[in-house]
Amino acid sequence: MYGLYEYAWLILAAPLASFVVIVFGTRMADLWSRHHGQTAQDYAAYLREADPAFAAWEATRGAGGHAEQQHAAQAAGPAEGTAHVGHGGEAEHQEHHGDPYDDDPTVPYLTPWAKLSGYVGIVLMLFACLYSWLLLFASLGLLPGTPRLPEGGITLFSYTWGSDAAFQPYTIAFHLDNLALAMTVVVTTVSLLVQFYSQGYMASSAGYARFFAYLSLFAFSMLTIVFAANFLVIFVGWELVGLSSYLLIGFWINKRAKPAEERPAPASAALQAFVMNRIGDVGFILGIMILFATTGTFDFATLAGSGPHGVAQAFAGNQALLTLAMILVFCGAIGKSAQVPLHTWLPSAMEGPTPVSALIHAATMVAAGVYMVARTFALFSAAGPQAFGVVAWIGGITAIFAATIGLTQTDFKRVLAFSTISQLGYMFVGLGVAGTEIGPGAGMFHLFTHAFFKALLFLGAGSVLHALHHAMHREVQDMRLMGGLARFMPITAATWLIAGLSISGFPFLSGFYSKETLISLAFEHGDYALWAITLVTAGLTAFYMFRAFFLAFGGKGGALGGIWGGPYRGEGTPHESPVTMTLPLVILAVFSIFAGYWVGFFQYLDPHAPLLDLGKLFSDGLTWLGVALSLLGIAWAYVLYCAVGWERVHKVVEANAVLRFFHRLLLHRYYVDTLYDWIVRYVVLGLCHVAAAFDRFVVDGVVNGVASLVMELGSGLRRAETGKVQAYMTVFFGGIAVFAVVVFVLATLR
């Protein structure tokens, strides 16, 4: 009956299949063919011919590298100057910037097999995407002959490890319902577009095939979370997402840190993301364990049900523990969705390739936290208002916290990073204030619309970076080195503008519907403080988004009063990106406009929830208050960055002590990173020393004591093995005799 739906596991299998095919198929073939045909030297020679940039870079590498080394030696000072040979590499490591090639250029980039692996990934993802859209339409009842999904969803796959009753909870189960389906559509669509886009973006980067393998793995991991039917599977997906994000953020493994721009090396950024997530995961695991220990099951449906294993019965009279458990579970979401105070990894994660950032921010990683809360919404409901309060307040604080930081950042991608954090905060506010009557709809709706325009923003940013990379032959992310790009790359600029308007909540674009709904929900719910926070954040969002837009694409003296074009502050001539990159932008722009018109979204997720009441939304004065604040933000951005110009703004800020203080504070992200640095350096390492001492003297003492006891005993006992065959026989029969005596005694005693 649900035949069409029952094959939804194919969506999950497709990225896994492409991962396997790429890793074990094309990648192997690539390595083989390279080994037998094309050597690295051959490829370098080829590159010298084909890419003038490479030849130029190679020429500078010989001389420039040397110059840099001398420079480093000078920087290190006379005391260390003598040790220059030994530390040369390290110094160069520190000082290195502006390298056009972040990886070994002699490694071939785009072999035919690598190209094929890209196609494999894209084709399989296209299949998954189309299938998920088909299912979406079917579940909306738009497909004749196919029923809607039943309310509880259907089980796609279930494998219980062990038939013993003790193993019953340890089930690998996948489950499809409307919530999962909506998320699947987002994940597959964004993944598909990102993969398509990567064809262009990654064309000049080493490890093209590997990149596609990782992207597929990433999509698979996220889909595992989406389809998970119990905490066990969601946790596996959770960690897989962590792994694949680690691999992707650190994709340019050879790239160095850029201290001048406060940019860490990708490798350490990846590590930071991983560690931060682990901190959240500690809470997550503890929460799951409390739930499991009390109810004896991991299954979402069972937990939410009213049976003896449901939280309602199992935690009866122990509401506080359930609340604690759910807050701990939410800790996982804090880490994964980069909420305060575990948000610092997300800006650092910008060191990954930009398509990865788009994927992380729009669909796969940070969305996992929101999705998990939505998935366990019933449990949060059971836990009561305190749990929801924590969710909403963490979200609210994060929203305004990140938005204020976003005001001052100059790194193009980092602005977007903080905007993501802020928007995720919105989603948690939506989940926290919605209450049981609306369900997870509000938060998920914003996740849904946000996915498209945030992906668009990132891919647009990637397009800009790609263009500047080609124009200047080095990596440029500082917005102060851009400007007026709209004239050079109109498609990128236009789509970016749409996304910017959408995220700012400009009326009739998708962001408007989801965001204003959230804000008005906060008001209706009676959380006036949260309402105020979200309202102010909306204005701030509009401001920094358009600050970024004007700095990058517009500027004083451009067309339309500086909105379009303006003086370009970089070198070279940037060009519009290839069609592989602009096509996804256009598609995403369409989604950014229209995604908000799915008025039945709440009801789709939860049949008992009301429709999104557009009439009420438009007629409510509070809505227009929010819009007005957003427009004010846009206007203020226009005034500062088109009418006045950023240099003068900067001067004014520097001249005023109060403004300067806030600017510093925000520019340094409230010094949270510094604080963490300090904590790690002094508190954690201090504790580590204590732990090490404990380990050395107490734990090792006990272990070594036991071990030496065993050793002593063993050395004694091995002497029994004298090598004399008759001694063995004696022991053999002695054993029999002793056993016989024992048994006789026992038999007599009985």
Closest approach of other proteins to the CB of residue 9, in Å: 17
Rounded Cα distance between 332 and 282, Å, is 7
Under rule CB under 8 A, residue 316 binds other proteins: no
Contact yes or no for 249/417 (Cβ under 8 A): no
727 forms part of the interface with other proteins (CB under 8 A) = yes
Alpha helices in 407-526 (DSSP H): 412-438, 441-472, 485-488, 490-503, 510-524
Region of 535-543, 663-671, 680-688, 709-717 interacting with other proteins (CB under 8 A): 709-717
- CA-to-CA distance for 427 and 339, rounded, in angstroms? 11
Return left, alpha or beta for 77; rule: phi > 0 is left, psi -120 to 50 is alpha, else beta: left
| CA proximity to 347, closest of 434, 248, 269 | 269
Using the rule CB under 8 A, is 32 a contact of other proteins? no
User: Dihedral sign, CA of 255, 258, 259, 264?
Assistant: negative
Contact pick of 137, 508, 694, 733 for other proteins (by CB under 8 A): 733
Given the complex with other proteins, which of 98 and 735 has the nearer CB atom?
735
Closest CB to other proteins among 77 and 723? 723
Q: Which residues contact 587 (CB under 8 A, 6 or more apart)?
A: 193
- Residues 165-184 contacting other proteins, CB under 8 A: 166
Work out how close the CB of 138 gets to other proteins at its nearest, in angstroms, rounded to a whole number: 33
Cα separation, 88 vs 75, whole angstroms: 11
* 62 token code pair: 């010989």
State yes or no: residue 742 binds other proteins (CB under 8 A): yes
Told to check if 740 binds other proteins by CB under 8 A, we report yes
Quick check: helix, strand or coil at residue 123? helix
| Residue from 233, 263, 243 nearest 173 by CA | 233
Q: What is the residue type of 87?
A: H
Do the Cβ atoms of 372 and 332 come closer than 8 Å?
Answer: yes
Q: Which residue, 508 or 728, has its beta carbon nearer to other proteins?
A: 728
First to last CA, the chain: 67
Name the CA radius of gyration of the chain, rounded. 30
Residue located via tokens 């790009």: 485
Find out whether 430 and 445 touch, Cβ atoms under 8 Å: yes
Q: Which stretch binds other proteins (CB under 8 A): 59-67, 125-133, 329-337, 718-726?
A: 718-726
Residue 295 CB, shortest distance to other proteins, in Å, is 22
Contact between 718 and other proteins per CB under 8 A:
yes
In angstroms, what is the minimal distance from the CB of 167 to other proteins? 9
Residue 734 makes contact with other proteins by CB under 8 A: yes
Q: Which is nearer to other proteins, 693 or 743 (CB)?
A: 743
Query: Is residue 744 within the footprint of other proteins (CB under 8 A)?
Result: yes
Residue 24 makes contact with other proteins by CB under 8 A: no
- What is the rounded distance in angstroms from the CA atom of residue 497 to the CA atom of residue 514? 18
Report if residue 741 touches other proteins, rule: CB under 8 A.
yes
Binding segment for other proteins (CB under 8 A), chosen from 143-151, 239-247, 578-586, 724-732, is: 724-732
Per CB under 8 A, the segment of 52-60, 552-560, 624-632, 735-743 that binds other proteins is 735-743
Give me the least distance between CB of 694 and other proteins, in Å please.
20
CA distance 518 to 513: 9
Contact between residue 547 and residue 645 where contact means Cβ atoms under 8 Å apart: no
Structure tokens at 46: 């080829």
According to the binding rule CB under 8 A, does residue 659 interact with other proteins? no
Query: Please, what is the minimum distance in Å from the beta carbon of residue 703 to other proteins?
Result: 10
Q: Which stretch binds other proteins (CB under 8 A): 41-49, 527-535, 635-643, 720-728?
A: 720-728
To other proteins, the closest distance from the beta carbon of 128 in angstroms equals 25
According to CB under 8 A, which one of 1, 62, 77, 750 is a site residue for other proteins?
A: 750
User: Per rule CB under 8 A, is residue 713 in the interface with other proteins?
Assistant: yes
Based on the shown chain and the rule CB under 8 A, indicate whether residue 735 belongs to the binding site for other proteins: yes
Q: What one-character DSSP code corresponds to residue 143?
A: S
Residue whose CB is less far from other proteins, 151 or 700: 700
Least separation in angstroms between residue 157's CB and other proteins is: 14
> Smallest distance, Å, CB 719 to other proteins?
7
Q: Which CB, 260 or 720, lies closer to other proteins?
A: 720
Binding residue for other proteins, selected from 82, 313, 674, 722, defined by CB under 8 A = 722
Question: Can you tell me the distance from the alpha carbon of 124 to that of 455, in angstroms, rounded to the nearest whole number?
Answer: 20
Residues in the chain: 750
| Residue 705 makes contact with other proteins by CB under 8 A | no
CA atoms within 13 A on the CB side of 168: 7
Q: Is 714 in the site for other proteins (CB under 8 A)?
A: yes
Contact 500, 510 (CB under 8 A): no
CB-wise, 163 or 306, nearer to other proteins? 163
Q: Which one of 247-255, 614-622, 624-632, 708-716 is the stretch in contact with other proteins (CB under 8 A)?
A: 708-716
Q: How far apart are CA 499 and CA 546, in angstroms?
A: 11
Indicate the pairing of strand 171-176 with strand 154-160. antiparallel
Size of the site for other proteins (CB under 8 A): 40
3-state secondary structure of 630: helix
User: CA 185, CA 154: separation in Å to the nearest integer?
Assistant: 17
Smallest distance from other proteins to CB 573, Å: 51
Nearer to other proteins, 661 or 739 (CB): 739
DSSP 690: H
| 702 in contact with other proteins (CB under 8 A) | no
Nearer to other proteins, 39 or 160 (CB): 160
Near other proteins by CB under 8 A, which window of 381-389, 514-522, 614-622, 736-744?
736-744
Window 138-167: residues binding other proteins (CB under 8 A): 161-164, 166
Shortest distance (Å) from residue 743 CB to other proteins: 4
Q: Which residue has the tokens 């049976």?
A: 307
Closest CA to 216 of 18, 451, 459, 11: 18
Binding flag, residue 732, other proteins (CB under 8 A) = yes
Q: C-alpha distances in angstroms, 327 versus 239, 283, 394, 722?
A: 19, 8, 11, 64
Report DSSP state, residue 643.
Answer: I
Q: Considering the complex, state which of residue 579 and residue 742 has its C-beta at the smaller distance from other proteins.
A: 742
Residue 308 CB, nearest approach to other proteins (Å)? 22
Residues engaged in binding other proteins (CB under 8 A) = 161-164, 166, 707, 710-711, 713-715, 717-719, 721-737, 739-744, 746-747, 750
